[in-house]
Amino acid sequence: MSMNSFTSLEEYQKMSLLRFTTAGSVDDGKSTLIGRMLYDTKSVFQDQYDAIKETSERRGEEGVNLALLTDGLRAEREQGITIDVAYRYFATPKRKFIIADTPGHIQYTRNMVTGASTANLALILIDARNGIVEQTRRHAFIASLLQIPHLVICINKMDLVDYSEEAYEKIKSEFRGFAAKLDVNDVEFIPVSALKGDNIVNKSENMDWYQGTTLLYHLENVHIGSDHNFIDCRMPVQHVIRPYNDEYHDYRGYAGRVAGGIFKKGDKVMVLPSGFTSKIKKIDTYDGEIAEAFPPMSVTMLLEDNIDVSRGDMIVRENNVPDVEQDLEVMVCWFNERPLQPRGKYALLHTTQDVRCIIKEIRYKVNINTLHRDEEDKFIKMNDIARVVIRTTKPLFVDSYRKNRNTGSIIFVDEATNETVGAGMIIG
């Protein structure tokens, strides 16, 4: 691998960023797969390698256990499982990767939702010996619910099924049948052995029948340029910048991260909730004025007219406004030990708004193994997914989650403990 891309600033600036989430059951080799990717892309340093080598020897393991590279906290080392979302980093000359490594076992589904919320791609592992299990269905469903644009199914432990094409094809068609009921677009299947390194970074010599790419090649080349919404202009105002000095006496800048669309200098815009209109006078940054702003840029917008704008407001195009709503239909994933309370009141965060809401109705609970809608059992506990109706104390400026992940997502906060207790996706 050429070092040039890493050492030349010019080359380094051509790299893009891909965030992906990994999911798998406890024993299907997820940690080994990540360890293998880090190791084969030369992202493991000598002292890290020495440390896991020593640990492997102390435990009497055969060879160096690459899974140890991703083991984080003491509790999980003791139990041999991952208990929380851990973030890993590696880069190739084409891309930088951020892995949200999430646990597979049942009681920590909430962590997979968390990891999935910012991912461009989900990597799902299936043990070739076992085929599709409950966990696989659960993870595929969450990936579709969270609208992760790309899905990669790694059929792992191919070495244990004699690299059989038949085993691979069987799992592939079984998954296709199941995925037909889900909202997923881009699905790729790759037969691998994380332990032996087949088709992870290097092409396998044991599977001539496989014509596709390696996992790393796919991660480096999957098209992510359309993952943001560039159509519907939305900028939630985070903070108002007022310098209070002589040089910038009348400066009033609206700071925020563009959540959708392309804003240009001179565009006619509307501010919600006031409905006042104005024109973009300037899009400012520390490095100077820029002509256009689009996701995921953080900018400061200045308007022609002196209108009252504060945190929680949203700057949009006059002819393309989000829904201004107090009553919302939401798919919620529950995160807390304390179950969702029917008629319960919660704090709610959406874009830069902080409001309160009441759960007005629980429509149904989703059985995430069968995708069946259960309208009888409305007891929503940790790791459950349900469709609910809520009413907020103030109008929110929303799009459906399908249309825009930034303006279509909310979190619920318990008003007594301040814990984040649930995540919601707005249904349009």
Partner 1 sequence: MSIKYHINHLRELESESIFVLREVAAQFQKPVIMFSGGKDSIVMTHLARKAFFPAKIPFPLLHVDTGHNFPEALEYRDNLVKELGVKLIVGSVQEGIDSGLVVEEKGYNASRNSLQTAVLLDALEKNKFDAAMGGARRDEEKARAKERFFSHRDEFGQWDPKNQRPELWNLFNGKKLMGEHFRIFPISNWTELDIWQYIALEKIPLPSLYLSHKRKCFVRDGVILAESEYVKLKPDEKVEEMTVRYRTLGDMPITGAVLSEASTVQDIIVEVATTRITERGGRADDKRSETAMEDRKKAGYF
User: Using CB under 8 A, which of 71, 127, 267, 384 touches partner 1?
Assistant: 71
Q: Enumerate residues 6+ apart whose C-beta is below 8 A from 204.
A: 158, 163, 191, 192, 193, 198, 210
Q: Enumerate residues 6+ apart whose C-beta is below 8 A from 69.
A: 31, 34, 35, 38, 39, 44, 48, 52
User: Using CB under 8 A, which of 105, 172, 257, 282 touches partner 1?
Assistant: 257
Does 81 help bind partner 1 (rule: CB under 8 A)? no
Q: Which of residues 9-68 bind partner 1 (CB under 8 A)?
A: 9, 12-17, 45-48, 51, 55
371: closest CA among 414, 426, 331?
331
Q: How far is residue 70's CA from residue 88's CA, in Å, rounded to a whole number?
A: 8
User: Using CB under 8 A, which of 162, 370, 419, 428 touches partner 1?
Assistant: 419
**What's phi and psi for 83, nearest 5 deg?**
-110, 0
User: Do 294 and 226 touch, CB atoms closer than 8 A?
Assistant: no
Nearer to partner 1, 206 or 420 (CB): 420
Q: Which of residues 344-373 bind partner 1 (CB under 8 A)?
A: 347, 349-352
Does 78 help bind partner 1 (rule: CB under 8 A)? no
Q: How far is residue 180's CA from residue 174's CA, in Å, rounded to a whole number?
A: 10
Q: Which of residues 270-289 bind partner 1 (CB under 8 A)?
A: 284-287
Rg (CA), the chain: 24
Does 411 help bind partner 1 (rule: CB under 8 A)? yes
Backbone dihedral region for residue 42 (phi beyond 0: left; psi -120 to 50: alpha; all else: beta) = left
User: Do 306 and 252 touch, CB atoms closer than 8 A?
Assistant: yes
Q: Which of residues 316-335 bind partner 1 (CB under 8 A)?
A: 335
Q: Which of residues 108-127 bind partner 1 (CB under 8 A)?
A: 110-111, 113-114, 117-118
Q: Which of residues 223-252 bind partner 1 (CB under 8 A)?
A: 225-226, 228, 230, 238-239, 241-244, 247-248, 251
Helices 134-145 & 165-179 angle (0-180, nearest 10) = 50
User: Using CB under 8 A, which of 22, 193, 392, 406 touches partner 1?
Assistant: 406
Residues 83-102, mask of contacts with partner 1 (x by CB under 8 A): xxxxxxx-x---xx-x----
Q: Which of residues 168-227 bind partner 1 (CB under 8 A)?
A: 225-226
Shortest reach from residue 56's CB to partner 1, in Å: 13
Residue type, 113: V
User: Using CB under 8 A, which of 26, 53, 56, 72 touches partner 1?
Assistant: 72
